[in-house]
A and B are shown apart, each in its own frame.
Chain A
Amino acid sequence: MKQKKPPKVMAGQRWRLFLAAVLVLVVTGVGAYRHYLAPGSLISPLEQRAQTSGMGEPIYDDVHLLSRMVASEARGEPYQGQVAVAAVIVNRVRSPKFPGTVAGVLFEPAAFEPVLNGTFWTAPVSEEHIRAAEQALNGWDPSYGSLFFWNPATASSPWIWTRRIITSIGQHVFGL
């Protein structure tokens, strides 16, 4: 068929056809990738460990969620800052002012930005993040019982500054 095309084809028309075809391919390609491939391709050290560790270990689920929190909220922070972020979640679980489980605290509506914008699920979790979460679950707390942490450069709520500041580590301020 293609060989029998009339010879009058203008270069511009062919180009337009090509562009349309590329567009269709790109749209369907991206759609298919997002549909079928993306979730599976995100295998972090966390999942790898989950496959080797034993079953029915309730504390493990908390490590899983906490290290995601560390990965999304404390990326690039010094290690003590990562442990402190995880410790704030643990402190909230123990506090009467917040829900009594790790999941309850993390998924309290509008409590944490990464949960709202989805980076909580996409930020790659490193071994360091997992260790920071474990250390906080084991009781290390560089924030001394802090219930809040915020970035002074980007914090939008003036209310947050009414809190008693305990310490500041890296980009974060920790307070009660």
Chain B
Amino acid sequence: MDGRKATALALALLLLVVAGHWVWQNQRRMRAAEYALEANYQRAFFDMLENMENLDCLLGKSLASNSRGQRIMTLTGIWHEAERARGNMGCLPLGMVNLMRSQQYLAQLGDYCRLLAQRQARDQDLAAEEWQQLCRFHQQTRDIQDGLREVLAGIREEDLKWRSFAALKRDQRLTPAGQSLADGFGRIDEGLRDQVPTLTYDGPFSDHMEEREPMMALGERISKEEARDRALEFLDLKGRSGYRIEKTTKTRGRIPAYNIVIQREKDTSPIALDVSQQGGHILWMLTSCTPRESTLSLSQAVAKGEEFLEKKGYKNMVPTGTIVEGNQLSLSFVRREEGVIMYPDLIKLTLALDNGEIVAFDALGYLMCHHQRDLPPPVLKAEEAEKMVCQQMEIQQTRLAVIPLGTWEERFCYEVRGKVNGDTYLVYINALTGEEEELLQLLETEAGTRAI
């Protein structure tokens, strides 16, 4: 054996060792990742079991309790526990099983109990119907728990690992054991779909929220051609050249519309907008542009926005918020009627801060919510409302406003703006009853003020 052969052999051996080490290390790393993943899934599953047990117990206590304070505690506990259960359920690798109904059940259970707790805190007693609903929730929660225990028994028997689910693609077949586990969850979900009636109450997760319709009459039906005309008018292109309409299609959202795409010669990307099939209102407009600099000041931009709305026929709109994002400014405007701020009647604009052009527009909120409100005169005087806010608050401003409640409902309130402990808050005191309806914190950021 000469030197060269030996070198070649040594090199080959070295390669083998390197490759072997690499494979071994990869294997080890993969296994570590798999165990970490499995631990995560197991945690989610067992935490969910515990959440369900807590829900069962808390629902029972809320039925048995006769003390308002105690019941508020248990109902709030249900809300939190249901949200936690929902989060844990969302972590389970059951993508192939449809868990939407179970998610919805938990969300509604929590939301419903949150509202009950709020009502209890306002000295309202539990109505007979509400007590019945809690009983139903209690029974359904027990049914889900039974289903989960079956799943758990299956997991124990087959020594099933959750990660074997995660590795599967949607169209791949499951092992029989995996299938029985998936079926267990599928049965829970189906059980809810069959047995739980749709739930209508005043919360944002109520079933009736999905079928919202605009509160005002939008107007006569218009044709495709008329819709195009409205779009061109809105963009100040009517009677001009230098553009082409790329397409017009129909959309079937809450307000049926024509989706129109217009390309202007001077732009790189097109403008898209929706024109309502009834009344020809511009619902929204979007265009992609990247302004390279900001030359307009905030107040100049706000003035431009006001002028634009005025021109488009939206009168009496007052700016309520601004967010600067890059060289763009997003603005929200709401309607003011006889000094009352109508927060649901919302229009949003985005302006390019270099030339003041409107690059995005959204009137969906306004068109869905605006209507003749016929507000009664306020029962409370402004000074009386100011007396109802937290004593430490340094009040800056008080005005009348109509606010949305996250549902279809609105409330006629005094908006009291003031500082507590260095932070600014908006407190909404019902102008008719004096109830504190809503409390928002104004968060000052570099981009603008956000109400949370």
Please tell me if the beta carbons of A20 and B12 are within 8 angstroms of each other in the complex: yes
Which residues of chain A come closer than 8 Å to B166, judged between CB atoms? 109-110
* Residue in B15, B108, B288, B330 whose beta carbon sits within 8 Å of that of A24 in the complex: B15
B192 CB, min distance to chain A CBs, angstroms = 12
Please tell me if the beta carbons of A144 and B253 are within 8 angstroms of each other in the complex: yes
Max chain A Cβ within 10 angstroms of own Cβ: one of B8, B15, B274, B288: B288
Question: Which residue from chain A places its CB closest to the CB of B321 in the assembled complex?
Answer: A138
Question: Which residue from chain A places its CB closest to the CB of B207 in the assembled complex?
Answer: A96
Instruction: Let me know if A171 is at the binding interface, CB within 8 A.
Output: no
Please tell me if the beta carbons of A79 and B95 are within 8 angstroms of each other in the complex: no
Question: Which residue from chain B places its CB closest to the CB of A126 in the assembled complex?
Answer: B290
B345 CB, min distance to chain A CBs, angstroms = 14
CA distance A104 to B84 in the complex (A): 12
Return the CB mask of B84-99 against A: 1 if under 8 Å, else 0.
Answer: 0011001111111010
Q: Is the interface of B mostly helix, strand, loop or mixed?
A: mixed
CA distance A23 to B18 in the complex (A): 12
CA distance A145 to B368 in the complex (A): 13
CA distance A140 to B361 in the complex (A): 8
Please tell me if the beta carbons of A27 and B86 are within 8 angstroms of each other in the complex: no
Question: Which residue from chain B places its CB closest to the CB of A143 in the assembled complex?
Answer: B253
Instruction: Let me know if B11 is at the binding interface, CB within 8 A.
Output: yes
CA distance A161 to B396 in the complex (A): 54
Instruction: Let me know if A41 is at the binding interface, CB within 8 A.
Output: no
Number of residue pairs spanning A and B whose beta carbons lie under 8 angstroms apart? 154
Please tell me if the beta carbons of A98 and B93 are within 8 angstroms of each other in the complex: no
Return the CB mask of A83-117 against B: 1 if under 8 Å, else 0.
Answer: 10000000000101111110011001111000000
Which residues of chain A come closer than 8 Å to B4, judged between CB atoms? 9, 13, 17
CA distance A106 to B140 in the complex (A): 29
Which residues of chain A come closer than 8 Å to B286, judged between CB atoms? 79-80, 83, 135, 140, 142
17 additional A-B pairs beyond A96-B103, A138-B323, A142-B286, beta carbons within 8 Å, are: A20-B8, A23-B15, A24-B14, A53-B446, A96-B104, A96-B107, A99-B86, A100-B86, A100-B107, A105-B90, A109-B94, A127-B326, A128-B290, A131-B325, A132-B288, A135-B330, A164-B252
Could you list which residues of chain B lie within 8 angstroms of chain A, going by C-beta atoms?
Answer: 2, 4, 7-8, 11-12, 14-15, 18-19, 22, 83, 86-87, 90-96, 98, 100-101, 103-104, 107-108, 111, 165-166, 170-171, 204-205, 210, 249, 251-255, 259, 261, 269-270, 272, 274, 284, 286-288, 290, 323, 325-326, 328, 330, 348, 350, 360, 362, 364-365, 445-447, 450
